[in-house]
A and B are shown apart, each in its own frame.
Chain A
Amino acid sequence: MEVRVLAFARLRELCGFGERRVVCPSGATLEDLWRELARESVEFAALRPSTRFARNGALASGTTVLADGDEVAFLPPVGGG
């Protein structure tokens, strides 16, 4: 299956994309997807404790199982205002 991954701010800079399609195995969770992408950057991996996940526009836990066509987002601590 294929999901669309969005990364923002510091995470976007570290992983080198703002949006990318990623193929992942059936049954993969948000945490699995994060780990797969984190293999490419130690700095990116180190930001896991401060990163929240979203799936299809709603906050979601790492154990959430992904479905084909999902929009996944990696969210650093916010800084609006």
Chain B
Amino acid sequence: MIGLTAEPLALEPLIAAVRDDAHGAIVTFLGVTRATSNGDARPVAALDYEAYPAMAQAELEAIADEARARFGPLRIAMLHRTGRVALGEASVAIAVGTPHRAAAFAACAFAIDALKARVEIWKNECYADGARAWAPNAEAAP
């Protein structure tokens, strides 16, 4: 279960997707819409996410492959929202299952860090006063 979705995110389907009798640990991450952006006092009402679906899908799968190579054996699920995400809703969900917990924590942190740096998704912040602004990640290349 790796990709983009326009539907609200829930962790249960991702947890089910990575469940494995050989694994003793499942670590999950939810990225949730925050009321204010870094260095900007204006209250945020919602986020609008835009993606280049073909490249975003390939990059998410490449990150999953790298996580397996670095921290495996593991199972990983990653979903990212597109379109309007209201305040307090999840924009990204990740679940990682491994035999022991240390690898699951490490792989989950790696996956969200890599996603924020590399995946072809863009965030338009919609403020309560009606203004909007594109908000690139600090870790984005170049």
Contacts and interface: CB of A to CB of B under 8 A. Distances in A.
Interface stretch (A28-36, A38-46, A61-69, A71-79): A71-79
B135 A79 contact: yes
Interface residues of A, number: 18
B130 interface: no
Interface string B94-134: 00000000000000000010011111111110000000001
Contacts of A12: 50
A interface: dominant SS: mixed
Interface residues of B, number: 30
Contact of B52 (A6, A10, A49, A50): A6
A29 to B, nearest CB: 19
B135 to A, nearest CB: 5
A9 interface: yes
Interface string A46-57: 000110101001
Interface of A: 6, 8-10, 12, 49-50, 52, 54, 57, 73, 75-81
